[in-house]
Structure 1
Amino acid sequence: MRVDLVTIFPAYFHVLDFSLMGRAREAGLLDVVVHDLRGWTADRHRTVDDAPYGGGAGMVMRADVWGRALDEVLAAPPTPPEADEEGGDAPEPVLDPHAPPRRRILAFPTPSGVPLTQAIAQDLAGADQLVIACGRYEGIDQRVADHYRDQEVEVLEYSIGDYVLNGGEAAALVLVEAVARLLDGVLGNPESLVEESYSAAGLLEYPVYTRPRSWRGIETPEVLLSGDHARIARWRRDRSLVRTARRRPDLIDALDAKDLDGRDREVLAGAGRVLVPRRADVSLRPARRDEASELARLARDTFPLACPPHLGEADIEAFLGRHLSEEVFDRYLADPGDHRILVAQLREEDPQLIGYTCTILGGTDGMPADLVRPGRIELGAAYLSKCYVRAEWHGSGVAGALLERAVADVEARGRNSQVVLGTNIANRRARRFYRRHGFSVAGRRTFMVGDTPNIDDVLVRNVTPSVA
């Protein structure tokens, strides 16, 4: 690829002799030619600017000077091939009359241009010639860009951010590096292009670490030292999703939900964004003291979703009245030490609760005796008694995000080394869900809903308390 830089400060581009750009030029992968715009002036003062028509502050760069410069630069022949290894002259290029015309791009850095993106850089990497016109002062007379749009030249007016620089040189360097690093052979490891920010995955890159393992009391994430490549890949994907959701939510909204797996959706929900069944912001937080009534309504809407078909309405109503009433939730909320209730709430005009978990860490409502399994489940385990999401939000990732937040909450409290729950043996979806989140079956129990006995699988997940 040939890159022509037209500027009134040619020395600005000496930095292109260094690092990867310098090596790419030495290897013949990139041909960079810097031109002094003043070489095309027609007066002894080498004037390139004049006062703006219509008045106003500053000066405008002249169209006639730029026109003469760009006509000549754009007419430059293709970069000739390298000389042979024995030092002979390079062969004359053979022109194929059937070859497609050379693709020439004329780029103008300007604060009023389109934002430069990785997709634009990837497109420009396929050009034969990239000419960058570095404006100064108040910019280049608009007729220059308009004129070349009518020629066989692609014109790109681009911006590198919502701020103003003294001239286009810095933005030109950004464009050269963004494009040149995508050329074949410039990067030593082309796989780097696959995982970095703004790649085809559409996400910001994950955080990276190297030696020393511990620095100023901050440890390298243990998963990166595990040697388990699948776990590392998943961790990196998770961190990319979270980082993108928090820093560039616009990139998350540009994702196709069909390209996200269940874990992706859970991670995004935990970071506050869901894409299915519709795009929405969601907040995961501890329930407030005044939300007993709303929790009871949520429980009434969601508990029947987990009940097997043979359960009658009378039994369900009896269970709701005894275990999931407003009075029960009010008592739980009054005792946050032993009763931990987390909720998922939409951040919209109608801030509806769409899911909740209830974990009991101890006290009279603590671990039911019928869940204890000597040697596998101890009486002091945390009891995850509820994990429900409204039907219309199933598949959104909210349930998994709530569950992981509840487990992390148990770890943070430092009182319990296990989380235990029971789920009906007929509820295959729930059993798969909990197993995917690290729970294993430790036995079965008989669980009463009203007057009707039900058989539950008892599942357990070991945790590591983070505080004593």
Structure 2
Amino acid sequence: MRVDVVSLFPEFVAQVAGHGVVGRAQERGLLSIHGWNPRDFATGNYRRVDERPFGGGPGMVMLIDPLRDCIQAAREADPAPATVIYLSPQGERLTQAKVRELAGRDRVILLCGRYEGVDERLVAAEVDEELSIGDYVLSGGELAAAVLIDAVARLQAGALNDSESAAQDSFEPADDAGSLLLDCPHFTRPVEHELGTVPAVLMSGNHADIARWRRQQALGRTWLRRPDLVDPSTLSKADRQLLDAFLAESASDPSST
């Protein structure tokens, strides 16, 4: 997968993307990231990329021409068709389902705004999609681009050392009905610690019991923390029993959650 990033600070995204899973995906040839600075396409002595907004008000707006030329250069750098995505608070909320869809594409161009944003005429002419990573405002789109790149990189086949890791993450479909559950709790050594003891079932060696416990914990956590993700009418009889048992235990021992 190829990702082109149009940003006034392309080195920021490159630095973030050079570590961990994203860095490994690049080393393995699963992902390539290319930065493009619209200032390189600006004209005049000062190479301006922004101007004050018409109608008054605070801040600056990014100019059309440097961005348009920069996007065009990014398009021409590879023959594969590219979707231009503008990271914007006005965009569609980024979800794991959207990440899976993006991860299956061959190429995307990420447009990172700054200041008060981008001239709307450029958005209308060049942008195919707008995406938001949440209901808050950042200083620029670079952090959002880094988040999106990390999310799609880990879904590239071979990026993770264990192929099951991504499938078991929060917000991944947890059954044939497409239920989206939060992840279950995880534990590692030591077994005994001043902060508590590892649940005995995880050391039992009984894979069926462990799977049942993890499913119950995922159901219970999702019910308590993100009830909007759980529709009781879609749960199987077995899942309803697991959830009922979890809630009954939680009511009798609040510390168990």
How does the TM-score come out when normalised to structure 1?
0.50
Match of 2:19 in 1: 18
Q: 1:248 aligns with which of 218, 226, 235?
A: 226
RMSD: 2.1
Change (3 A) 1:193 1:256: farther
1:266, distance to aligned residue in structure 2 (A): 3.2
Q: For each residue in 1:92-140, what CA deviation from the matched residue of structure 2 results, as whole angstroms up to 9, or x when unmatched?
A: xxxxxxxxxx442211111121110011111111212111111111111
Match of 1:125 in 2: 103
1:256, distance to aligned residue in structure 2 (A): 6.8
Aligned residues: 247
Identity %: 43
Matches within 5 A, 1:346-385: none
In 1, distance between residues paired with 2:103 and 2:122?
A: 24
Change (3 A) 1:256 1:145: farther
2:115–2:140 Cα contact (<8 Å) kept: yes
3-state SS of the aligned residue for 1:32?
A: strand
Match of 2:151 in 1: 178
3-state SS of the aligned residue for 1:192?
A: helix
1:40, distance to aligned residue in structure 2 (A): 0.8
Q: For each residue in 1:170-189, what CA deviation from the matched residue of structure 2 results, as whole angstroms up to 9, or x when unmatched?
A: 00000001011111111111
3-state SS of the aligned residue for 1:109?
A: strand
Match of 1:295 in 2: none
Runs of 4+ in 1 over 4 A off after TM superposition: none
2:37–2:70 Cα contact (<8 Å) kept: no
1:270, distance to aligned residue in structure 2 (A): 6.1
In 1, distance between residues paired with 2:106 and 2:233?
A: 32
1:405, distance to aligned residue in structure 2 (A): 5.3
In 1, distance between residues paired with 2:143 and 2:16?
A: 11
Q: 2:241 aligns with which of 266, 281, 291?
A: 266
Match of 2:136 in 1: 163
Q: For each residue in 1:279-310, what CA deviation from the matched residue of structure 2 results, as whole angstroms up to 9, or x when unmatched?
A: xxxxxxxxxxxxxxxxxxxxxxxxxxxxxxxx
3-state SS of the aligned residue for 2:87?
A: strand
Match of 1:28 in 2: 29
In 2, distance between residues paired with 1:31 and 1:225?
A: 41
Change (3 A) 1:53 1:190: same
3-state SS of the aligned residue for 2:230?
A: helix
1:158, distance to aligned residue in structure 2 (A): 1.0
Match of 2:168 in 1: 195
Match of 2:177 in 1: none
3-state SS of the aligned residue for 1:17?
A: coil
**Which structure carries more helix by proportion?**
2
Change (3 A) 1:127 1:263: same
Instruction: Work out whether 1:72 is the aligned partner of 2:73.
Output: yes
In 2, distance between residues paired with 1:144 and 1:184?
A: 35
Change (3 A) 1:256 1:110: farther
Greater C-alpha Rg:
1
Q: For each residue in 1:179-233, what CA deviation from the matched residue of structure 2 results, as whole angstroms up to 9, or x when unmatched?
A: 1111111111111121111112211111111011122231111111111111110
Letter of the 1:57 counterpart: P
In 1, distance between residues paired with 2:120 and 2:224?
A: 38
Instruction: Work out whether 1:54 is the aligned partner of 2:49.
Output: no
Match of 2:93 in 1: 115
Matches within 5 A, 1:307-322: none
Matches within 5 A, 1:121-160: 121-148=99-126, 155-160=128-133
Change (3 A) 1:59 1:27: same
In 1, distance between residues paired with 2:224 and 2:182?
A: 10
Q: For each residue in 1:128-182, what CA deviation from the matched residue of structure 2 results, as whole angstroms up to 9, or x when unmatched?
A: 2111111111111122221125xxxxx2211111111111110000000101111
Match of 1:218 in 2: 196
3-state SS of the aligned residue for 1:107?
A: strand
1:103–1:127 Cα contact (<8 Å) kept: no
Letter of the 1:193 counterpart: A
Gaps (5+ residues) in structure 2?
Answer: 175-179
Gaps (5+ residues) in structure 1?
Answer: 79-101, 150-154, 272-400, 413-468
